Amino acid sequence: MPLDLPYRATILTGLAWFKAMDFRFQISGQENVPRTGGAVLAINHISYLDFIMAGYGAHPSRRLVRFMAKRETFDHPVSGPLMRSYHHISVDRSEGVASYRNAVDYLRRGEVVGVFPEATISRSFEIKDLKSGAVRLAAEAEVPLIPLILWGSQRIMTKDHPKDFSRGKTIAVTVGDPLHPTGENAVAETAELKATMARLLDDTIAAYPAQEQPPGSWWLPARLGGSAPTPEQAKELDAAELRERAAKRAAKRTK
């Protein structure tokens, strides 16, 4: 196993930042992250800081999470060297099989692999449709699939809203009971994972300090009295974003 000195140094820096920001962590189910052996963490995606917060959820078990992240993060001149030094897993959509095999190898070597099965940040803060990769990884490597729910990180840094680094926010991390997919029906098992994550999300929101999410809050789902986009509206915003990106790429090619 790698010594992970850069990773461990970054964790210490992160812990110091948490203290400086006076974050109040509300963690439950942390005992569900195994202290040894491989496991897949299936994490909801609500902010740009979810890597950090989900990693903190595994900290009580003294586990380092190897996150699967898009290749562009590894290509970046600043984040790339860091991602490689942390032994995270590059996901190249054009070479998806290689990324998948790499993750299976990590799991079989006893690593904890972090996956965001929604693939992109949820603008509605609800659980989006999930990709089946998390289920298939856990089934093939014969390791537990552990749902992990984050709440509160979207208040700091997410899509369509200004950053807010004011102090004293509560960050909730809920780790669910392990699932044990067989891979025989990845579609059905992914649906089970989504239902489990949705239930855990509702439980996490219900336990979150009410004074920090008053009715009408932009970070609260519409069905719970917040002003976040509905899942249907969020899909339209996601589609518009994809169209805008495609137009920019096309414009670059014509220059």
The pLDDT > 90 percentage for the chain reads 83
Q: What's the domain count of the chain?
A: 1
pLDDT at 1: 53
User: For position 71, which CATH number holds?
Assistant: 3.40.1130.10
pLDDT digits 0-9 by tens, 107-127? 999 999 999 999 999 999 999
- Residues of the chain where predicted confidence (pLDDT) is lower than 70: 1-2, 94-95
Domain range for 25 is: 5-254
- Flag whether the pTM goes above 0.85: yes
pLDDT digits 0-9 by tens, 223-234? 999 999 999 999
The edge-to-edge listing of strands for the beta sheet with 24-28 is 24-28, 170-175, 145-151, 39-43, 112-115, 65-70, 89-91
Position of tokens 């996901």?
A: 91
